[in-house]
Amino acid sequence: MRHPVLSPILSRRHWIFDLDGTLTLPVHDFAFIRASLGVPDGSDILDFLASLSVAEAAPLHARLQEIEESLVEKTEAAPGADELLGRLHAGGARLGVLTRNTRENTLRTLSAIGVGSLFREEWIIGRDEAPPKPAPDGIRQLASRWGAEPVDVLMVGDYLYDLQTGRAAGVGTVHVDPAGLFRWPALADVLVTSLAELAAVLPAAEECPVFTVPVPA
Ligand SMILES: [Mg+2]
C-alpha cells in the first residue's frame, strides 16, 4: 500500500473511473484488435482511426464496436469494485466513467457487473462524447455538468492515459495497478493495487463529514 493513509484527496466527492482494466478485469486483446482493423503495431487504435477518411474509418469503427460488444459478456468486475462504488454512492459521491470504449458498451458492461444502477447515463463519457484520453475534455465535461471544481474531482485508472488525463485536467489521480509496478509515480497522487485496497482506505463517514451529506441531484 503506497498512499497517504486517510489522504484528504480520498474525501473528494466526484469520482471518474476508467472502465476497462479499472472497474473490470482487463479483457481487451489489443494485438487482436489491431490485426482485425489493420492498425500498425505500436499505433494508438483511436488515433489511427482518426487519421483515416470518414469513408475508410466507418467500417473499422463498426468492427471495433462489434469486437468490444462481444467482450461485454466476458467482462468481470475488478476486485472491490462493487464495495468501493457502493460506499461512494451511499456517501453521496457522484460517479462518472471516462473511457475510450463507447457509452453503449459501458452501460452494458456496468449492468453486467452489477453496478449499473449507480451510474447515470449522462455521466458516462465514451469516445463519441469527447476527444479520447489523454485529452482532458471528458473530465472537464463531467466537472462542468457537476458544477465541480478540479480540487473536488478524482480520476481513477489503470493506465498512463488515465493519469495523464487527470493531470491535464488538474484533478487528483489514483493509479490502480494490480501488478504493483506503478510505472508512472510522478503522475499519480494515490497508488493502490486494487479497488478493494482503495475501498479499505476510504475515509469512514464519521471521519469525513462530506460523505454524510448527499450531493444534490
Ligand atoms: Mg484501462
Q: Mean per-residue pLDDT for 115-143?
A: 96
* Span from the CA of 216 to the centroid of ligand 1 (angstroms): 29
Identify the residue with better confidence: 13 or 206: 13
* Span from the CA of 158 to the centroid of ligand 1 (angstroms): 5
Q: Mark whether 91 and 196 lie in a shared domain.
A: yes
* Span from the CA of 176 to the centroid of ligand 1 (angstroms): 9
Mean confidence (pLDDT) of the chain: 89
Q: Mark whether 20 and 48 lie in a shared domain.
A: no
Closest-CA residue to 205 (of 83, 115, 90) = 90
Q: Is residue 1 situated within a structural domain?
A: no
* Span from the CA of 107 to the centroid of ligand 1 (angstroms): 16
Q: Is residue 51 situated within a structural domain?
A: yes
Q: Is residue 217 situated within a structural domain?
A: no
* Span from the CA of 212 to the centroid of ligand 1 (angstroms): 30
CATH number at residue 39: 1.10.260
Which residues have beta carbons under 5 A from ligand 1 (an ion)? 18, 20-21, 158-159
Q: Mark whether 116 and 202 lie in a shared domain.
A: yes
Number of independent structural domains in the chain: 2
Residue-level pLDDT at 201: 84
Q: What CA–CA distance (Å, rounded) separates 163 from 156?
A: 8
Q: Mark whether 143 and 50 lie in a shared domain.
A: no
Closest-CA residue to 174 (of 202, 138, 147) = 202
pLDDT tens, 156-200? 999 999 999 999 999 999 999 999 999 999 999 999 999 999 998
Q: How far is residue 70 from each of residues 31, 91, 105, 106, 145, measured CA to CA in Å?
A: 16, 34, 9, 12, 31
Residue-level pLDDT at 23: 97
Q: Is residue 122 situated within a structural domain?
A: yes
* Span from the CA of 111 to the centroid of ligand 1 (angstroms): 18
Q: Is residue 55 situated within a structural domain?
A: yes
pLDDT at 94 over 70: yes
Q: Mark whether 128 and 164 lie in a shared domain.
A: yes
Range of the domain at 153: 9-25+76-212
Using CB atoms within 10 A of its CB, is residue 137 exposed (0-12), middle (13-18) or buried (19+)? Answer: middle
* Span from the CA of 10 to the centroid of ligand 1 (angstroms): 20
Cell numbers given for 85: 462504488
Q: Mark whether 54 and 121 lie in a shared domain.
A: no
Q: Mark whether 38 and 140 lie in a shared domain.
A: no
Q: Is residue 2 situated within a structural domain?
A: no
Q: Mark whether 130 and 54 lie in a shared domain.
A: no
H-helix or E-strand spanning residue 190: strand 190-192
In the chain, the percentage of residues whose pLDDT exceeds 90 is 71
Q: Mark whether 132 and 58 lie in a shared domain.
A: no
Q: Is residue 198 situated within a structural domain?
A: yes
Q: Mark whether 101 and 200 lie in a shared domain.
A: yes
Residue-level pLDDT at 6: 52
